Structures are given as structure tokens and as C-alpha cells.
Structure 1
């Protein structure tokens, strides 16, 4: 596996972990509580989830591009 493949795979794993943690915070449930009971700002959690989903999508696009470059005759061209 090329260095780019490995880097993207590791990055995607990290993003998936972060996304799982944000989703586990149940921001939508926290919004129903009085503000004084919030342990975190649910709006920030939603923003973070949106950003992580965008990052995951970008990684997936890069994975496809790297795979296509590697499958071309002559291999990856820098």
C-alpha cells in the first residue's frame, strides 16, 4: 500500500472515531434541556459533526483519485 493510501486510511479512521464521539453526545437531546444543564453547546456539536462529515467525504474523493492514479499505466505520477 502506498504512503498516500496509508495516510488516507489512517485519517479516515480518525475522522470516523471523532464522528462517532460527536454522534454519541446526542446533541439533539441536549437542546431539549435548560441551558443551565448543558455540559456542552449542542450547536457546536452539530457544527463539528457537519465538518467531520465533509472531511470524510473529501477523504473518500481523495481515495478514489489516488486509486485511479495507481491503476494507470506507469503507476502514480507525482
Structure 2
């Protein structure tokens, strides 16, 4: 199971590199008719990828620490 999570983590990191390397901010300067995609969709996708990566990393870290435990 750990291998699957590692594979997922690497896949998400690879996808994040692609998204972060895109130039969606430059696309916004173009007329809307020239857009190949909506730049705000790219931003939402990136946020989703970061959330997924955080979830995978959190799960790998083990159960959350009880803040009320001494």
C-alpha cells in the first residue's frame, strides 16, 4: 500500500511541475477568443493538486497528534 501512495505522490508532484510551469498568467493577457483554456480553471486545478498532495503526505505521516494529549 505504501508503494501506491508513493506512486500517487510522485504523480501529483509531476503534474504540479507541469501546471506550475505553464504560463496561464500570460494567457490572460490574450483576447478571450485566443485562449486554449480558461486560466482560472488552471488555478483551481493547481489548488486541487496541492490539496491532494497535502492529503497524501499527511496520510504518510501517520495519525494526527492529539492536541489535548500531554
TM-score range, shorter chain: 0.7 to 0.9
Residues 19-54 of structure 1, C-alpha deviations (whole Å, 9 max, x = no match): 111112221111111111111111110000000000
Structure 2: runs of 5 or more not aligned: 64-70
TM-score (norm 1): 0.73
1:6 corresponding residue in structure 2: 3
2:58 aligned partner: 61
Q: How many residues align?
A: 63
| RMSD, matched Cα | 1.3
Higher helix share: 1
What 5-or-longer segments of structure 1 have no aligned partner?
67-78
Moved over 6 A (4+): none
TM-score of the superposition, structure 2-length normalised?
Answer: 0.80
Report 1 or 2 for greater relative contact order, CA contacts < 8 Å, sequence distance ≥ 6.
Answer: 2
Report the equivalent of 2:36. 39
**Paired residue for 1:18, among 6, 15, 20?**
15
